[in-house]
Chains A and B, each alone.
Chain A
Amino acid sequence: QQQVKQSPQSLIVQKGGIPIINCAYENTAFDYFPWYQQFPGKGPALLIAIRPDVSEKKEGRFTISFNKSAKQFSLHIMDSQPGDSATYFCAASRSQGAQKLVFGQGTRLTINP
């Protein structure tokens, strides 16, 4: 049972393009939605996170868009660079209690020079 579904599985974009990665969740009790970035040979690291009381959050070139009614959220990377090439994971959890993260399947992003 995959509570968080992520797409696409892989994505190739030219430098300067805007890759978009999408996630959908099922559990309406989730109220914390982070994105993690993973480089080869490294563990995932928190990139940006959003709460459901806002529809968008920006941090530098990274933006999360959130649609509560559709139970979907997405990551946009503006002016993408080759250094952004990594695997990206969306996740969801309840902000209180156990705070267990449920991860999406991951997206391998390649930014070509």
Chain B
Amino acid sequence: DADVTQTPRNRITKTGKRIMLECSQTKGHDRMYWYRQDPGLGLRLIYYSFDVKDINKGEISDGYSVSRQAQAKFSLSLESAIPNQTALYFCATSDQTGFGGEQFFGPGTRLTVL
């Protein structure tokens, strides 16, 4: 979805390096999410934010941190990357209207930690 962009799209890094993945959205949504996708495990929630001042841990937040710089921007950081953080990372957005809340996903960032 072009309304949700992620940078970089691919990144190879080494163990111990600090990495930042960035997400921007033009949908005007308040809610933003970071997921990781691993084969056989589906998508798992890392962090989510309902506005700039509201950030919450998800299912697998250890080893990750986030920053909500503005309504439209939500960044995910790996302070000291390790090989088992090799995965496909997705940012998503939603608004609070509507039953359940459809989430709109970005194109993903493929991260490889050597």
Binding site for B on A (CB under 8 A): 4, 6, 9, 32, 34, 41-46, 49, 51, 89, 93, 95, 98-106
Contact = CB atoms under 8 A, between A and B. Distances in A.
Contacts, number: 64
Contact of B40 (A9, A42, A44, A102): A9
Interface in B1-54: 1, 4, 31, 35, 40-45, 48, 50
B45 A100 contact: yes
Interface of B: 1, 4, 31, 35, 40-45, 48, 50, 56, 58, 90, 92, 94, 96, 99-108
Contacts of B42: 4, 6, 89, 103-106
A6 to B, nearest CB: 7
A43 B100 contact: no
A42 B6 CA distance: 11
22 contacts: A4-B42, A9-B40, A32-B101, A34-B100, A34-B102, A42-B107, A43-B90, A43-B107, A45-B1, A45-B104, A45-B105, A46-B103, A49-B102, A89-B43, A95-B101, A98-B48, A99-B101, A100-B45, A102-B45, A103-B42, A104-B42, A106-B42
B23 to A, nearest CB: 11
Contacts of B100: 32, 34, 49, 51, 93, 95, 99
Nearest to B9: A41
Nearest to A105: B42
A73 to B, nearest CB: 14
